[in-house]
Chains A and B, each alone.
Chain A
């Protein structure tokens, strides 16, 4: 059983006790513990169940590479799933629960899967659930969804109680990793005078060197680390941040750092996480190395850990995994674990070394301590289910015949070390295979390159494949010096840190233990603990033709999720290459993608939440609307009134009231959001003729014309009224959502195609408030304000005039989107509210009624006017909408003209716009389809039309709709069947889209 030792734990302070809860049980830890070390100290070795087979799992590692010990952390608004116990610092009152089991961690029904594992090989889901098709929706998918995922999803309605922020910074040299290599590289670079930023993901500096021991410059490594950190802190050009991970390296020296400020002390004020957005000239990746597991049967049983992790728990936290630890290795480093355990009074019954000749000086040291060493041997199988009870020993060269069974309660395994190359690889750094060490290391000749074509990432220390302390520090010095030089600084010549060389015997690549393991053993030899991928799965994938490493990964899920190849990568690749009979480098690696370990969604969002998630655009009348019962509708970034709801009124009733007011007497609309773009210059007319389908150059000064704008693909993209201001100036109105887009569209053509044309355009949308005065009494109101002649004779339909109306400097456009007598009045934005209030005051005698977007929609639909985004969806051309009259036949060219000449665009069977009336007067569902006879290849009904706009018309007191229908205009009076959501259909008659006043008499008065 795992327990707290009587003494030790260099990172902990035993005088500071802490309470925490795991699965509802009260436990105790000490300051400096991680959740994992505290759980182990409480004898809690089992921390979760595996993803697929629900096998009992304990921690394998002690750091961020941990695949198993993922827990649900926190409660309520601070609940988060899949948090690694090994990197979660303990605090008083922490609450955690294990994942992926039901009903309990000890007894889990899903564990039946492990007995069914023969029937659940790689690709099982793909093969099993494909037939019969109907079962997918009703049986397979619900089942898979229920069993998918590890942790519980946070409650969708709960708002994260913490705050997060983004932080931007620039630096000459960025060092990622604060182990001895990172410290040395940072120091070397900083001495040149370069700005240096050093990030370390853990709370402590120095990485794992203090655990592994050794002397630097004649002092214990831990002291050297302390001195170096102090030296760095004293330098003005160095910034150090612990608890900050280099999450990803991107183009041109862009790096994301992820700082965890209050995870270890949740009551501290301030943001919980900070996302560092860094631009670095040079990046040193001193990310260290990760130990590899060995592949033997039962290597996932709780109590089997990486040798380095067992050493970490003892040295850093004073916690032992078991009393009797068997060490199994293919290299010298694991002997350190045996020696360390022995030094702490713990029993190591045997060291199983796969190498026939065994190890070097460390082996001699272990043997001198009286530890039994077996050479050329292997573990055939680990015994035990919820914890290790014994190991069976066999010859590495054989097939697994058991020579001896040794009782034990822990196994320390080491398959060698792999440099952490993730950050080197994120932006394109390539790798080369190191035959001697059996790992991929950065290929310095193929580094990630920046804007100038020069490398901008330099690996350092063990991340660069230099595992021995002496080599690590020498390489880090070179890296720091190179980074400073590349960033334009002159490195100082200094002395290398002095480290006594250590002789270690060569490691032996061992990809399967024993090498000839039979299928039964191979099916219990795990490669990827988190995703439950075994040696046999990779072999099956290869056998079934998944020869590309990227395919094999996706077929088996090897290295997916949070693992990202940290533990599983090399063993998996080696297994695949062996199965394919190819060399490891020719099989290659999968792609390393950021982030290195998962970062919180909150940190990505940063401050962008709630009111500042995105800016809200307000018209000059916004405040008035808020004070008058507005029911808002978001339109792009604008808020527009949907309707103004009075007391004792539903939203629907308010809309009907507003429509009737505009039709019968006087309505007022805030049209300020309408896009307004001034186009000016000697070539402005020519330019607008290219932009619009109709002719704008011939528009006389003082007149207005409705225009259509298409994209080069021929599809209708915007519409609006164009007014000619003067000889060389036009004012183009666009849709509310279209102003920025259309302005950009104009700029693009002017700057990149017709750059010799003399035209300027300016988006003046926000410079004016615009108010539509609508209804039979509109003229009377304007006349009452006085100052301008707005008579039919002086200001007829589709003309505009400038002047002073009731003391306001205005432009009045006699245009109508409602079919009523209508004036749109533009006034400088600062005077918008005053004019609006004046119109209401003076219009009271005609019951002046503000109306919103829904009334606007109904008013236009009753008149058969199209709305961009309703009648158009990016596949509709003006010809579909009966707008052929607005397409100039005289012009040689306009944007979209060539496209509209294509055969599909001129196809007479394109659906055409018509009006639709249900026979029973009800309102058609939005988007309803008109069914035709017969079915298509998928068994779906053929269709012959669809609804584009549908409303209840208060004026006609019935449902009205517009839609696109096959040969529609030629089928007036015909009754079609339109679908409803319940599967039934509604008989609907094709009618003229102009439901009201087809002669236009109401607006032309």
Chain B
């Protein structure tokens, strides 16, 4: 059971306090979008063995959604950050790069 630090209330929350929300940083495609874009938005998800960005909600705590950057293979957590951003902040990316040299954003596999 993972422990993630809620960036809003600072609690180191156990997984039972949290609700997982799948892949983070999706772009919503609305009414005028192409079938392909909409399919990608609604159904296609990354499932990497390695660095991944996820949405979590501190549901049995402060109720806030946040993002977590972690490694699905080693369970290492690179950091948690606000959900109110469309891409991972620079300090999170830097931390990942320090641990996983050569890694870059959106090269998830």
Q: Give me the interface of A with B, judged by CB distance under 8 Å.
A: 250-252, 254, 279, 427-428, 449-453, 712-713, 744, 747-748, 751-753, 755, 892-893, 897-899, 901-902
Q: Which residue of A lies closest to B75 (CB)?
A: A251
Partner of B3, one of A451, A901, A902: A451
Q: Are B42 and A899 in contact (CB under 8 A)?
A: yes
**Which residues 58-109 in B have Cβ within 8 Å of A in the complex?**
59, 63-65, 71, 74-77, 83-84, 99
Shortest CB distance A498–B (Å): 39
- Given the complex, which residues of B lie within 8 Å of A712, measured CB to CB? 42
Can you list 6 pairs linking A and B with CB atoms under 8 Å apart?
A251-B1, A252-B1, A428-B75, A449-B76, A453-B99, A898-B30
> In the complex the two chains form, is B59's CB within 8 Å of A744's CB?
yes
In angstroms, Cα B28 to Cα A712, docked, is 10
- What residues of A have a CB within 8 angstroms of the CB of B75 in the complex? 251-252, 427-428, 449-451
| In the complex, chain A residues whose CB is within 8 Å of the CB of B74 | 428, 449, 453
Contact pick for A747, options B15, B63, B84, CB 8 Å: B63
Q: Are A751 and B84 in contact (CB under 8 A)?
A: yes
Q: Do B30 and A902 touch across chains, with their CB atoms under 8 A apart? A: no
How big is the B interface, by class? Answer: 20 to 34
What A residues does B55 contact at CB under 8 A? Answer: 752
User: Is A902's CB under 8 angstroms from B65's CB?
Assistant: no
Closest 9 CB pairs of A and B: A453-B76, A755-B84, A751-B65, A449-B74, A451-B77, A254-B1, A252-B3, A898-B31, A752-B83
Contact, CB under 8 Å: A748 / B65: yes
Tell me how far the C-beta of B61 lies from the nearest C-beta in chain A, rounded to whole angstroms: 13
Bound-state Cα–Cα, A822 to B42, Å: 41
A751 and B1 contact, CB distance less than 8 A: no
Interface residues of B (CB under 8 A from A): 1-3, 14-15, 21, 28-31, 33, 35, 38, 42, 55, 57, 59, 63-65, 71, 74-77, 83-84, 99
Q: Which residue of A lies closest to B84 (CB)?
A: A755
Chain B min CB distance to A962 (Å):
30
B83 touching A751 by the CB < 8 A rule?
yes
Residues of B within 8 A of A428 (CB): 74-75
Bound complex: CA of A860 vs CA of B28, how far in Å? 37
Q: What are the residues of chain B within 8 A of A901 when measuring CB–CB?
A: 31
Cβ A451 vs Cβ B76 within 8 A = yes
Q: Within 8 Å CB of A752, what residues of B?
A: 21, 55, 65, 83-84
Separation of A782 and B21 alpha carbons in the complex (Å) = 47
- A482 CA to B1 CA, complexed, in Å: 24
**Cα distance, A816 to B108, chains bound together (Å):** 53
**CA distance in complex: A901, B57 (Å):** 30
* In contact, B42 and A893 (Cβ under 8 angstroms): no
A252 to chain B, nearest CB (A): 5
Instruction: Give CA–CA (A712, B99) in the complex, Å.
Output: 36
Decide: B31 and A897 in contact? CB cutoff 8 A: yes
- Enumerate chain A residues within 8 angstroms of B31, measured Cβ to Cβ: 892-893, 897-898, 901
Cα A329 to Cα B29 with chains together (Å): 69
- In the bound complex, residues from chain A placing their C-beta under 8 Å from that of B57 are 744, 747-748
The CA-CA distance from A523 to B21 in the complex, in Å, is 52
User: Which residue on B lies nearest to A254, using beta carbons?
Assistant: B1
Complex interface: chain A residues within 8 A of B71 (CB): 453
Given known A453-B99, A893-B30, contact A755–B83 (CB-CB < 8 A): yes
State A251–B3 Cα separation when bound (angstroms).
Answer: 8
With both beta carbons as reference points, the residue of chain A lying nearest to B5 in the complex is identified as A451
Is B28 a contact partner of A753 (Cβ separation < 8 A)?
yes
Min Cβ gap A485→B in Å is 20
- B2 lies within 8 A of A898 (CB): no
Given contacts A744-B57, A752-B55, 9 further A-B contacts (CB under 8 A): A254-B1, A427-B75, A449-B75, A452-B76, A453-B71, A747-B65, A752-B21, A753-B28, A902-B38
A250 — nearest CB in chain B belongs to which residue? B1
- Residue of B29, B42, B84, B99 touching A713 (CB-CB under 8 A): B42
A250 to B38, CA, bound (A): 37
A940: min CB distance to chain B, Å: 29
The residue on A at minimum CB distance from B8 is A751
Q: Are B35 and A902 in contact (CB under 8 A)?
A: yes
Chain A residues lying within 8 Å of B65, measured Cβ to Cβ, are 747-748, 751-752
Residues on B with C-beta less than 8 A from A453 are 71, 74, 76, 99
- A899 CA / B75 CA spacing, docked (Å): 35
Question: In the bound complex, what is the Cα–Cα distance between A897 and B32 (angstroms)?
Answer: 10
Cα separation A259 to B74 with both chains bound (whole Å)? 30
- Closest residue of chain A to B43 (Cβ to Cβ) is A713
Rounded to whole angstroms, the CA-CA distance of A430 and B68 in the bound complex is 26
Q: Which residues of A contact B15 (CB under 8 A)?
A: 251
Whether A897 and B30, one on each chain, are in contact in the complex, defined by CB atoms closer than 8 angstroms, is yes
The answer to whether A748 and B64 have CB atoms under 8 Å apart is no
Q: Please give me the residue from chain A that is nearest to B33 by CB atom.
A: A898
Distance from A99 Cβ to chain B, minimum over Cβ atoms (Å): 35
Known contacts A451-B3, A748-B65, A751-B83: A898-B76 contact under CB 8 Å: no
Residues of B within 8 A of A893 (CB): 30-31
A893–B65 CA distance with the chains assembled, in angstroms: 24
Minimum Cβ distance to chain A for residue B8 (Å): 10
Determine which residue in A450, A751, A899 has the highest number of CB atoms from chain B within 10 A of its CB, and name it: A751
CA distance A897 to B55 in the complex (A): 24
Which chain B residue shows the least CB distance to A753?
A: B28
Distance (whole angstroms) from the CB of A276 to the closest CB of chain B? 14
Residues of B with C-beta under 8 A to A744:
57, 59
- A449 proximity list for chain B (CB < 8 A): 74-76
Q: A751–B57 Cα gap in the complex (Å)?
A: 10
B4 to chain A, nearest CB (A): 8
Nearest Cβ on chain A to B16's Cβ, whole angstroms: 10
A530 to B37, CA, bound (A): 54
CB contacts (< 8 Å) of A250 on chain B: these are 1
| Cα distance A10–B83 in the bound complex, in angstroms | 63
Complex CA gap A329/B17 in Å reads 53
Report Cα–Cα, A747/B71, bound state, in Å.
Answer: 27
Q: Report the bound CA distance from A755 to B42 in whole Å.
A: 20
- Which residue of chain B has the shortest Cβ distance to A891 in the bound complex? B31
Q: In the complex the two chains form, what is the Cα distance from A748 to B65 in whole Å?
A: 7
Considering the chains assembled together, what is the distance between the CA atoms of A752 and B2 in angstroms?
22
Chain A residue nearest to B3 (CB atoms) is A252
Chain A residues lying within 8 Å of B77, measured Cβ to Cβ, are 451-452
Q: In whole angstroms, how far apart are the Cα atoms of A427 and B76 in the complex? A: 13
B78 to chain A, nearest CB (A): 9
- Closest approach, in angstroms, between the C-beta of A453 and any C-beta of chain B? 4
Contacts of A899 in B (CB 8 A): 38, 42
- The CA of A898 and the CA of B28, in the complex, are separated in Å by 11
- Cα A744 to Cα B33 in complex, Å, equals 26
Contacts of A898 in B (CB 8 A): 29-31, 33, 38
Cα distance A445–B90 in the bound complex, in angstroms: 31
**Residue on B nearest A711 in the bound complex, by CB:** B42
Verify A251–B2 contact, CB threshold 8 A.
yes
Q: What residue of chain A has the Cβ atom nearest to residue B71's Cβ?
A: A453
Q: How far is the CA of A747 from the CA of B33 in the complex (A)?
A: 25
Separation of A790 and B79 alpha carbons in the complex (Å): 58
* Nearest opposing residue in chain A for B35, CB measure: A902
CB distance from A488 to the nearest CB of B (A): 16
CA gap between A744 and B58 in the complex, in Å: 11
A450 to B84, CA, bound (A): 27
Q: Which residues of B contact A755 (CB under 8 A)?
A: 83-84
Tell me the complex Cα distance, A428–B59, Å: 28
Q: How far does the alpha carbon of A251 sit from the alpha carbon of B65 in the complex, in Å?
A: 22
Which residues of chain A are within 8 angstroms of B3 by Cβ–Cβ distance?
Answer: 252, 279, 451
CA distance A423 to B59 in the complex (A): 31
Instruction: Please give the distance in Å from A643's CB to the nearest CB on chain B.
Output: 35
Residues of chain A lying within 8 A (CB to CB) of residue B59: 744
B50 to chain A, nearest CB (A): 12
A243 CB, min distance to chain B CBs, angstroms? 25
Closest A residue to B85 using CB positions: A755
Question: What residues of A have a CB within 8 angstroms of the CB of B83 in the complex?
Answer: 751-752, 755
Residues of B within 8 A of A751 (CB): 64-65, 83-84
Q: How far is the CA of A414 from the CA of B101 in the complex (A)?
A: 49
Residues of A within 8 A of B38 (CB): 898-899, 902
Residue of chain A at shortest CB distance from B63? A747
A252 to B99, CA, bound (A): 18
